[in-house]
Chains A and B, each alone.
Chain A
Amino acid sequence: MKKIKARALSLLADGTVKRVLGWERGEDAFDCSPALFENEAEMERFVYGTCAGANLSKYCVKMGKAEGKTLVILKPCDTLSFRQLLHEHRVERDAFYIIGAGCTGMMDENGLLAKCAACKGKEFAVYDEIIDTEECRLPTGTEKRMEQVEKLENMTAQERFAFWQGELSRCIRCNACRNVCPACTCIKCVFDNPGSGVQSKAPVTDFEENMFHIIRAYHVAGRCTDCGECSRVCPQGIPLHLINRKLIKDMNELYGDYQAGLGDNERTPLTSFTKEDAEPGIIHERGNG
C-alpha cells in the first residue's frame, strides 16, 4: 500500500495525473469506500488493502469525461472489466493511468469474499505499471469456478426452479447488482426506459423477478468478465453470479473458451458465429429436463 500511495503522490505531484481514483479509509478495518483524491492532503486518507473489494472500473466510465488523466488502481480481475470497457468504447485508454495493484484476495467481516474464492488469476489485462509483491502472484482456485453451476445443472428442472424462486423472491429490485456491474453501462437501462416496453421498478410478481434477472444476465452475456460484484453487493444475498457463470460456461463449452476483457476488441460469442454452431435443440438433449 505504501508503494502505491507513494507512486500516486509522485504522479499527482509531477502533473502526470490530475486525480487518483482509489479507496478512502473509513470507520474500521473493513470500512473503506471508493474515493477521489486530488491533492496530497486528501491522499492522507488513501488506503489499499484487503478491504478494497470494489471494482473501480465502473467509475471510470464517469471519470473518463473529466479533464486530464485519472490514476486508477485496478486489481487483476478489475483490469478485465476495464479492458472490456475499452472494447466497448466506454472508456478512453488515454484518459487513465492504470496502476495494476497486486491482490492477495479481498475480505469483508465474514472473511474472504466469495468472488475471490474463485479467483480467475493474477495477470493484468491492461496497465501502465504494476505494483505488487511475490505473495500477490500466488495462484488460486480458478478450477472450482463452475462447481456450483454444475451442482445446479445436475438438479432436476423442478429443483432448479424451486432453488431460483427461493433466491429471486428475495429480490427487492434495489438495482445494486445492475448499478455496480461494469458491463451494465447503458446510458438508459431498458428497465428505466418507458419506451422499451419492459420498464419496471418493483418485483411485483415472480415474473418480474425472473424477467429482471434473465435480461440482466442476458444483456451482459459475452461481456461479463465474472468480476463477481453483483453477488458481493446484493443486500439480499442472492447468488447472482451463478446466472452469469452459467452463461459463461455454456459459451465456453459451445463456442470455445472465451474470457471477456481479453483479446483486442474481438467479437463476443454473441456477436460472432460459425456455420457449424450447435442448434438450440442441444438444450433439449441435455440431462435433467
Chain B
Amino acid sequence: MDQNTRFLTETVLRISGVDPRKCMKCGKCSGTCPNYDAMEYHPHQFVSMVENGLIEQLMNSNAVYLCLGCMACVERCPRHVAPGKLVGALAQLKLRKQDGNHKGGNDIAAMADEKVPQQLLMAAMRKYRK
C-alpha cells in the first residue's frame, strides 16, 4: 500500500470509525440495501475495498452518492461494521477533495467574520475537518 493510499484509507477509517476487519463477509448489508442495483459498488464491496485500500476507485464512482443513507446496513450488520458510515466518510473525503484543501481550526478563526453566525462556522468545521 503506497503512502497516499494508506493516508486515504486511514482518513476514511478515522472519519467513519469503522473497523472493516470485523466484517465476516456475510453480505447482510448488500442483501438489505434498497438502492443496491443503482450502485456500481455495493455496500459489502465498500467494506472490503476500503480494507484493501481501493479508496480512489470508490471515490471515482457515483456509488458514493447513490447511497440513500437509510442506514439499514448499519442497523442490521451483525458485526457492528456499519458500511453506511464508510460511504458517508468517502462522500466527505470527496467533498474535501473538491475544495482542494481543508481548513484547520486556526484558519477558521482568521476567516471569522462577525456578521457570519458562529453556528455556520462550526458547521463548516464539521464538514471539512471532522
Direct contact of A and B (CB under 8 A): no
